Homo-oligomer: A and B are copies of this chain.
């Protein structure tokens, strides 16, 4: 049986861990998409409240979590950690497998960890409405929930193909009071231009970001919110890893390898950064980001400056990228279909601190089914990438006859994603080939910076 390791509310961290002062190698500035010059805090004010802009560039290692945010966190935090005894037994591995479970939030994933502080800093800054985008809907539902809590209006641009295919997540956003538009929409210049050229355009995350950014930039009382990639988003998610460290202390253990799935990078950063700080202090811990083979940003992308969005309205950052107009295949882990990666994670990969691995979706669903049948919790398709990574490490330990302690982040539950499991059981899933030609094409469109 599993062992559950709990922290009391008193043991919940009161500060987030900011990795910026501990970064190895050279950090690159974020570039303004219009001027192609480094952005200033003032450039960002139409998009973000000052509290978040400060966090984006803060040199402080520890940043206090506001009391109002702690109060909301306490609804579901500290989140549980489990030792996966049943999974270990099924694998016949000498490895110990621990997982941190973020599916206990009301939205069912780790996303509220940053949605809540983002809504809070906007609230105290005077923002009346937040505009954001969502792909499969995990982020959109989380920001809707957070805005509802702090009394902010919320507008979500939802990738059109998901708007049609995933009505449940749309309903969650509406239930939490957000207005949701299929993107591309006729509400923005970016959306109208795309629709004029292609009325049947089914949308992409890059296009939806363009619409949300434009909406925020063109309305005085509105700010933009992003659910991953940015430094302050990674910062907020570090509560996952900080709690995990305390929980492993209770178990009297420490990981040999820490694993997270990787899309934009925030849940990976959340579990990994607090352990990377130990690495700098001499601890021998590996950190592994697992991404989909069909959207192989970290394993097949380039470390270059690129736009965060398709319409080139979002800031340019140095990151691993497949090109801002790369359109990934329609895998079921919708939350991992992003052309870029968090600049902080990208730099850590570039510097050799973070290992990377790409896996195919059918192997991920196999891992998810084994997990559900041993540990009972149904994983989100995104999280199944981390499970695949953990199982592979455990099987390697078995092969090598080595003891090993594995920690991974189970970033969300899959109750809203059962259609994906249905497709798996009906043998309807495809393992997309590495989309080499498409990536080569999109990589030829990178901006020329510096």
Contact = CB atoms under 8 A, between A and B. Distances in A.
Contacts of A74: 1, 4
Contacts of A75: 1-2, 4, 82, 376
Q: Main SS of chain A's interface residues? A: helix
Given A1-B72, A419-B168, A378 B174 contact: no
Interface residues of A, number: 41
Nearest to A106: B376
A421 B71 contact: no
Contact of A9 (B4, B148, B172, B177): B4
B71 A168 contact: no
Nearest to A148: B373
A416 interface: yes
A330 interface: no
Interface in A369-389: 369, 372-373, 376-378
B425 A171 contact: yes
Nearest to A174: B425
Contacts of A376: 75, 106, 145, 148-149, 176
A422 interface: yes
Interface in A48-84: 71-72, 74-75, 82
Interface in A94-112: 104, 106, 108
A167 interface: yes
A104 B415 CA distance: 12
A175 B421 contact: yes
A369 B176 CA distance: 8
Contacts of A2: 75
A418 interface: yes
Contacts of A149: 376
Contacts of A369: 175
18 contacts: A4-B74, A106-B376, A108-B415, A167-B419, A168-B415, A168-B419, A168-B422, A170-B422, A171-B418, A171-B425, A172-B378, A172-B415, A174-B421, A174-B425, A175-B369, A175-B373, A413-B415, A415-B415
